[in-house]
Amino acid sequence: MSNYIDCTNSFIEERELENILPIVQVSDKLLKEGIGAGNGFLGWMNYTDHINTEELEKIKDSIEKIKKNSEVLIVIGIGGSYLGSKAVITALTHTFYNELDQQERKTPKVYFAGQNISPTYLKHLFDIIKGKDFSVNVISKSGTTTEPAIAFRFFKDILIKQYGKEEAAKRIYVTTDAQKGALKTMADNEGYTSFVIPDDIGGRYSVCTPVGLLPIGCAGINIDEFLEGIKEGVKEFSGENMDNPCYTYAAIRNILYQKGKDIEILVNYEPNLQYFSEWWKQLYGESEGKDQKGIFPASVNFSTDLHSLGQIIQDGRKNLFETIINIEKMEIDLEVPMDDDNLDGLNYLKGKGMNYVNQQAMKGTLYAHLDGDVPNMMINIPDLTPRSIGKLIYFFEKSCALSGYILGVNPFDQPGVESYKKNMFGLLGKPGYEEIGEKLKNKAASK
């Protein structure tokens, strides 16, 4: 088994892995040959091999332009249009990136909008950018998704009032469909700089495209190294046996699911990975949760959540398992200082690094949860760098696609997401949805 992933074999017999291997291999064949469900959305698998170099240079030029003329970048999007870049930026930048002094940061502050419909959130963001030079990157395939479309209306209006229509247009960067849609039409009409969301890559798989690369680069992260990490993943995770970590992860998840473990908890021990967990939850929840099937994706931030959720994980229902992201080497460490009074009783830790203490907390928790009959897997990444994060993203993407096919669902669509939209449009009175609105209002009245 690869060093990239460890698993607890007390819950999985070797014969179970041998038995499921042919199913995983068939799932991989569906991916590689493009003959499975959702095969029109496999562009993420080889995107880095065929990346449009002209567009990549255009992204880099735009990044430099934004760095020079903007103190703030507002990234507008929802779901896969923001979670990937948010995950990478929070993982790889200073924990308090936006609070750093401009001279120390050397890159724009990055804020996100359009991922909710809260007027409070937007008003507070307006307050933050007041009097500051800023640019906007709006990301939407259609340009009509409610949450980002509302946010873009507001920020476009602020830009025009602050700079005038012509200058405002130079500060708007659009990532959208290549040929059609409201946002594409607007970009063409107004002369906005625009980038393409590939037709064959769905939102939750799109962080390696302009969707993620522009905001990630604006935060000072080396996007070439990030893409190299994805390329490494493509190469390393191409094997066709259980030495391939993607095979192992997808297989074990499904074996545990068949044993009644229908909740997976992604565990991290670094706060900077919190939004990586949010990206992972969308990837797996939206890909697998269909046809009344699917492992529910949850996440915890340890050791923080050991003081709130540790109890139910340890002693609650045995319907869950954990996957730990283990960072083998952290760039920063602090030694626990000596205290002459030792009233807190911590002098036994004097001179020890906090990373060492954190690792022992991780091991202690792992052993406790194993004793509590909670299966665990561990994903080992060497460090927190653009290369390692890129590789980790590809690992989870390919594992997710394999796992979805093993489960018997299409890992690349999301039909259930449309249900709430239709109801919302009906209640808001959107043209074409009046009948749905009337039904819902009558339903509410009857109660």
Domains of the chain: 5-37+229-406 (3.40.50.10490), 47-221 (3.40.50.10490)
Give the integer Cα–Cα distance in Å for 253 and 220: 35
Tell which phi-psi region holds residue 344, choosing left (phi > 0), alpha (psi between -120 and 50) or beta: alpha
Q: Which tens digit of pLDDT belongs to each residue from 410-446? A: 999 988 777 788 888 877 788 888 778 777 778 777 7
The stretch 300-323 carries a mean pLDDT of: 96
Q: Rounded to the nearest 5°, which phi and psi values hold at 230?
A: -65, -40
Catalytic-labelled residue, pool 147, 286, 322, 397? 286
pLDDT of amino acid 50: 85
Catalytic-labelled residue, pool 235, 421, 439, 441? 421
Residue 304: pLDDT band (50, 70, 90) is very high
The stretch 333-339 carries a mean pLDDT of: 96
Question: Is the pLDDT reported for residue 10 higher than 70?
Answer: yes
Q: Which tens digit of pLDDT belongs to each residue from 92-120? A: 999 999 999 988 999 999 999 999 999 99
Percent of the chain with pLDDT over 90: 87
pLDDT of amino acid 433: 84
Under a CB-based contact definition with an 8 Å cutoff, are residues 430 and 438 in contact? no
Is 421 noted as a catalytic residue in this protein? yes
Residue 447: pLDDT band (50, 70, 90) is low
Is 435 noted as a catalytic residue in this protein? no
Residue 1: pLDDT band (50, 70, 90) is very low
Q: Which tens digit of pLDDT belongs to each residue from 228-249? A: 999 999 999 999 999 999 999 9
Q: ω into residue 303 within 30 of 0, thus cis?
A: yes
Question: Is the pLDDT reported for residue 171 higher than 80?
Answer: yes
pLDDT of amino acid 2: 58
Question: Is the pLDDT reported for residue 342 higher than 50?
Answer: yes
The stretch 131-136 carries a mean pLDDT of: 97
SS3 265: strand
pLDDT of amino acid 439: 76
Under a CB-based contact definition with an 8 Å cutoff, are residues 402 and 253 in contact? no
Percent of the chain with pLDDT over 70: 99
